[in-house]
Structures are given as C-alpha cells and as structure tokens.
Amino acid sequence: MSFTVIEQAPARLNRSELAVPGSSARFLEKAAQGAADVVFLDLEDAVAPDEKEKARKNIIAALNDLDWSGKTVSMRINGLDTHYMYRDLVEVLEGAPGKLDLIMIPKVGTAADVYTVDCIVSQIEAATKVEKRIGFEMIIETALGMANIHEIAAASPRNESLHFGVADYAASTKAATVGIGGPNPNYGVLTDPADDGSRDYHWGDMWHYAIARMVVAARAHGLRPLDGPFGDIKDPDGYTAQARRAMVLGCEGKWAIHPSQVDLANEIFTPTEKDIAKAKAILEAMEQAKKEGRGAVTLDGKLIDIASIKQAEVMVNKAAQIAG
C-alpha cells in the first residue's frame, strides 16, 4: 500500500439513482414511495426555463412534506454558467433547511466550480444553523470535466461521488451519436478475413474509456463512481447490459431516468448468492492458508493469494452493506 491513505466518502447505498423532474409534484411524490437508493430532484435539464421557479417550490414542498426515510435525497442544481444556480441553492436550502443529503453539480469543468458551490452552501448552512453537512455529487459530462477529473474529485471534503453523464459528454466531445448511452453500430471492429474469406463485425463499447477513467479518479479519492443515464426506457436488456459493464469496471450503481429502471439497477448492483458464496469460500481458503503459513493456494483449480482476500472482501462488504 501507498503511505497515502485514501479517506472514504460516507458509505451510502447507491445502486440506483432515480432522476425526478422538480417540475412534476406527482413524480416527486411517487419517487418518495419508490425503491431507489438515491433520488435526485432535478432543477436542471429535465426542467424547462419557464418552469424553474415552480420546480424550486415543488422541491421545497416535497422535502418538507413527504417521507423520504430510507433514501438518500439529492438535488441537481443548474450549471454554474446559468443565472439559476445561486437561486437554486439559496431558495431550496433556506426553504427546506437540513432536508437534503446531497447536491449534484452538473457539467462540472474545474475544481473551482466545486469550490464555488462549496462556498455558497457553507454560507447558507452557517446562516440557517444546519449542522448536517451536505455532500456533493459531480457529473462528469464535458471534455473539460473529464480532462480535470482528478482535481475535481479532490476539490472538496464534501465530495461523495462522480457520475458519467453520457448525453452531455457525447455532445461536448462531438461524438457522432444522438442516443443517450449504450452502444453505437459505427463503433465496431471488423475481423481480418478467415481462411474461407468470412469476416465478423463486433460492436465495441464506445464509453469504456470514459467510464474506466471516472472509476479510477473516483476510487483514487475515496468517492463512489456511478454510471449515468440510459435513454431507451423500452429496452431493459440494453440497460442491463450497460449497467453490468459499468459494474464490472467498478461502478457502484447507475441512474434510472424512469422508475422501471430502478429495480433493474438494484438487482444488478446487488451481489448474487453465488458471488457471495464464492467470495466467502476464498476468505475461508485463505484463512486456512494463513494458518499453514502459505500466501497462495488453489481453490477449484485456480490460484488465489492475498490480493484475492481484498477482492472477496469487496463483495462480502457490499452484501453486508445491502443487508443493512
């Protein structure tokens, strides 16, 4: 291990993160009753400019009047390049003091963006005498944000998670796609001709680099990495495949932009009985190895060693966190 100890963000279950437009009081009510681990109340891109004021009012009422117990509640503010952002913070944090757990900062580009929000939030918390410290979630969804991702991840002790915002990221990088997440038929590999001249075309994952880079930056700073939206709400198989890819790379969870995606995310990001049993068998075999003074043994014909203990502990600890 490095001599540098990575301080971990507060442990929160974050398998699913449901996006709810603040402009719809009915959707806010349904979200409070749903099964998402985290709900983010949106003031940004799901809310039209003329609806921003109403959305703030709806969110204040929802925070004060609805029962959010058992959930983490976040609010996505507008970007720092708009004139809405400061009022989002002032109105909602003063109108519903102590109710939000997290604030989501969209299109974050530099560490100074995080610093700016931190400064305003700190002042409001002090003025309203709220002792609970709000945490930050940052959406990495611009080329600038991706370029500065490590500085952003380290920018505030409030930071808890990084999210990959695939739609804005595609726009910002001028990717030739208009879908929200998932694969693209133009991103593929054509194999060399086989002896009979036949060739195969394999679709690749055009988001691999971005998600992998975000996972590394998040984990290097003790934050949770989250995969963002998947736009085709009629394609649960596509959602599942995308979520599984993100999970295997190290993401803790995925956004749900429709309630039907919440159960999928909760299931995918919960280790299976089989995975847990295997992880426990590794821990038992390594315990036995330790007693025998050995650092490596074989289990089911495969080599395992001290690193396997750490891998298995990730799985077992996650299962324990979910069991609560």
Q: Measure Cα distances from 28 to 13, 34, 303, 312 in Å.
A: 20, 10, 50, 38
Q: Does 168 bind Mg ion (CB under 5 A)?
A: yes
- The single residue among 134, 139, 146, 304 that binds ligand GLV, judged by CB under 6 A, is 139
Going through the chain in order, the beta strands assigned E by DSSP cover 16-21, 38-42, 72-76, 102-105, 135-140, 159-164, 188-190, 201-203, 224-227, 253-256, 297-299, 302-304
Angle 91-92-95 (CA atoms, 0-180°, nearest 5)? 80
- The single residue among 229, 256, 265, 315 that binds ligand GLV, judged by CB under 6 A, is 229
122 Cβ contact partners less than 8 Å away, ≥ 6 residues apart: none
In the complex with Mg ion, which residue's Cβ is closer, 17 or 141?
141
Distance CA 175, CA 184 (A): 11
In the complex with Mg ion, which residue's Cβ is closer, 101 or 168?
168
Q: Does 228 bind Mg ion (CB under 5 A)?
A: no
Backbone dihedral angles phi then psi of residue 278, each to the nearest 5 degrees: -65, -45
In the complex with ligand GLV, which residue's Cβ is closer, 165 or 253?
165
The nearest distance, CB 177 to ligand GLV, in angstroms, is: 12
The nearest distance, CB 42 to Mg ion, in angstroms, is: 10
Distance CA 101, CA 135 (A): 6
Residues in 161-220 at the binding interface with ligand GLV, rule: CB under 6 A: 165-168
- The single residue among 37, 118, 141, 227 that binds ligand GLV, judged by CB under 6 A, is 141
Which range binds Mg ion by CB under 5 A, 55-63, 158-166, 238-246, 306-314? Answer: 158-166
Contact residues for ligand GLV, defined by CB under 6 A = 106, 139, 141, 165-168, 228-229
Contact residues for Mg ion, defined by CB under 5 A = 141, 165, 168
